Amino acid sequence: MRKLATAVALALVCVGAAAGSAGAAPQKINWSPCFQKLGPFQCGTVQVPLDYDDPNGATIAIALTRLPATDQEHRIGSLFLNPGGPGGSGIFEVVFGGPFLFTPEVRARFDLVGFDPRGVGHSTAVRCFGTDKQWAPFFTPFAFPSTPQEEQEWIDADLYLDAACAQRAGRIVEHMSTANVARDLDVLRQAVGDPQLTFDGVSYGTMLGQTYANMFPGKVRAMIIDGVLDPIAWTTGSGDGSTVPFSARLHSDAGAQATLQQFFALCDAGGSNCAFGPNSAARFDALGEQLKAHPLEVVFPDGSTAEVNYSNLIGMTLGAMYDSSSWEDFAGALADLELQASAVTLGIRLQAYWSPGVAYIPKRGFPHYFNAIESFAPVACGDSDNPHDYSAWSTTGTTEEASYAPFGRIWTWVSSICAKWPFVDNDRYTGPFTHTTAHPVLVVGNLWDPATRYQGAVTASNLLPGSRLLTVHGWGHTSLFLSACADEVQARYLVDLTLPPAGTVCNQDHVPFSGP
């Protein structure tokens, strides 16, 4: 387990090129059927400038997939989606999640459009390796470093990726900031024929949304940002950009800690519905100490083996906190670890939570591996100010762990690739994040989000004039699939441009450990 495997990560930074898109006439997308076994999807590409400072120079391809509105007669327009990352595929989001992401009314009125951002997946992609098999030296057998020796192993892995990208990444690696993706998004908006943008971004996608809203404020028809990053912490920090890594400035570790405490409280309250109760917090701490002293071997169903050490316990726990619908099963996995079940039993229990690398979705006929490793740093590091000495990650990780154990180190070290990242994007955007948009933005925050803590939504709503904060009394990362109330609020906003009353709170439909 390693770095990106359990992280969300996000980014953005200083004004460079002019905010507008290229001055050429809007392109027309030639849509063609695709993914037909999965639904009536259509695919196309749009050419955009590699460098918006040179709009008549080299171009790159942005790949899109759309799921047409089910009621074309009453269609409002296109709803663009971004699933986060950085490095997430909007195409995969639409193909595998599109039919389930919104209410039937929203599906009827909008074409859902997903795109792979520049440098990612099906679009012109940054590639630092010939094959994903060459990723192997980047991965470590621990989810974050805890000792000087482990820190050096982690740093060596970072430098391996740095060197590979320096050798073969090409020009695109210096043009992948969120600001450039926002410029692309405005070209895509024009290409589908929409006078203004309708957008839904989750996790890192909220950084793309906030960037677009401030670079193109007059072009916002409706925008939902859900699971929100603090844009100032993400980019420059508040006077601490050169001393504190951006991932620590976001204080995702605080959100993860609060979510884990909720897991313990709900587990203990759930009685027989929780296999790891009662006294789950104390038992978790004891399990951590047990694994520090004696890691356990696991044998997965495919025959591969691994070691569950303390850091991997924390990595799996963080991953489980993202999805509260998994908490009952995860409690069972913790109980099996506590009992030191057989390696085969543990392998069956833990496979859902174990990420030996970065998960990606293979696709028959896909020309290359999905470049999940390479696509994170050009965005996250290109967007954000960071220290340039690894000692800052070591010091900050120790400090954060003291305040937000057990997640202080894992959320600090996730951004360490930025320490010596050898590229910059001069066209990044660092604010201001306070422009008045043509229509107000809907900001959605879960009270217990382990990746994008609720305070990020509060901050963003205070920065964006006229925006409205929807609070979800829920557990997990973003509001997706949690609350019928939140789904309906978002539907009314997207279709009718109606904001919920100030102070609206939606409850999660199912409380973990409360029974069927």
The pLDDT, as a whole number, for residue 368 is 61
Q: Where are the alpha helices (DSSP H) in 372-450?
A: 377-383, 391-404, 408-413
Quickly state the pLDDT bin for 372 (edges 50, 70, 90). Answer: confident
Query: Counting runs of H as helices and runs of E as strands, what totals does the chain give?
Result: 17, 12
- The Cα–Cα gap between 494 and 502 comes to 17
419-461 per-position pLDDT tens digit: 999 999 999 999 999 999 999 999 999 999 999 999 999 999 9
- The Cα–Cα gap between 382 and 211 comes to 14
The pLDDT, as a whole number, for residue 212 is 98
- The Cα–Cα gap between 31 and 29 comes to 6
- The Cα–Cα gap between 24 and 41 comes to 28
362, pLDDT greater than 70: no
Compute the radius of gyration of the chain from its Cα atoms.
22
Q: 438-458 burial by CB neighbour count: b if 16+ within 10 A, else e? A: ebbbbbbbbbbbbbbbbbbbb
Q: 363-395 burial by CB neighbour count: b if 16+ within 10 A, else e? A: eeeeeebbbbbbbbbbbbbbbbbbbeebebbbe
**Number of C-alpha atoms within 13 angstroms, CB side, residue 89?**
25
- The Cα–Cα gap between 95 and 98 comes to 6
The per-residue DSSP string of 267-288 comes to HHHTGGG-TT-SSHHHHHHHHH
Q: 286-307 burial by CB neighbour count: b if 16+ within 10 A, else e? A: ebbebbeeebbebbbeeeeebe
Q: How far is CA 345 from CA 117, 306, 354, in A?
A: 40, 13, 14
Give the strand pairing for 468-475 and 505-507: parallel
30-82 per-position pLDDT tens digit: 999 999 999 999 999 999 999 999 999 999 999 999 999 999 999 999 999 99
Give percent above pLDDT 70 in the chain: 92
Amino acid, res. 228:
V
* Contact assessment for residue 318 and residue 309, using Cβ atoms and an 8 Å cutoff: no
Backbone angles phi, psi at 29, to 5 degrees: -85, 130
- The Cα–Cα gap between 374 and 351 comes to 25
- The Cα–Cα gap between 403 and 409 comes to 11
The pLDDT, as a whole number, for residue 241 is 95
Give percent above pLDDT 90 in the chain: 88
Q: How far is CA 373 from CA 259, 316, 323, 370, 420, in A?
A: 27, 19, 23, 9, 16
Peptide bond into 406 cis (omega under 30): yes
Give the strand pairing for 77-82 and 41-49: unpaired
Q: How far is CA 364 from CA 138, 257, 370, 428, 456, in A?
A: 25, 40, 12, 35, 39
205-221 per-position pLDDT tens digit: 999 999 999 999 999 99
Give 240: exposed, middle or buried? Use CB within 10 Å, 0-12, 13-18, 19+.
middle
5, pLDDT greater than 90: no
280-315 per-position pLDDT tens digit: 999 999 999 999 999 999 999 989 888 999 999 999
The pLDDT, as a whole number, for residue 19 is 38
132, pLDDT greater than 90: no
- The Cα–Cα gap between 113 and 353 comes to 30
DSSP, collapsed to helix, strand or coil, labels residue 394 as helix
71-86 per-position pLDDT tens digit: 999 999 999 999 999 9
* Contact assessment for residue 459 and residue 187, using Cβ atoms and an 8 Å cutoff: no
Give 99: exposed, middle or buried? Use CB within 10 Å, 0-12, 13-18, 19+.
middle
**Strands in 152-264 per DSSP E:** 197-202, 220-226
364, pLDDT greater than 90: no
* Contact assessment for residue 143 and residue 412, using Cβ atoms and an 8 Å cutoff: no
**Which residues make Cβ contacts (< 8 Å) with residue 516, sequence separation at least 6?**
none
Work out whether the CA dihedral 171, 172, 174, 180 comes out positive or negative.
positive
| Beta bridge partner(s), residue 507 | 473
To the question of pTM greater than 0.85 for the whole model, the response is yes
The pLDDT, as a whole number, for residue 355 is 62
* Contact assessment for residue 22 and residue 47, using Cβ atoms and an 8 Å cutoff: no
1, pLDDT greater than 70: no
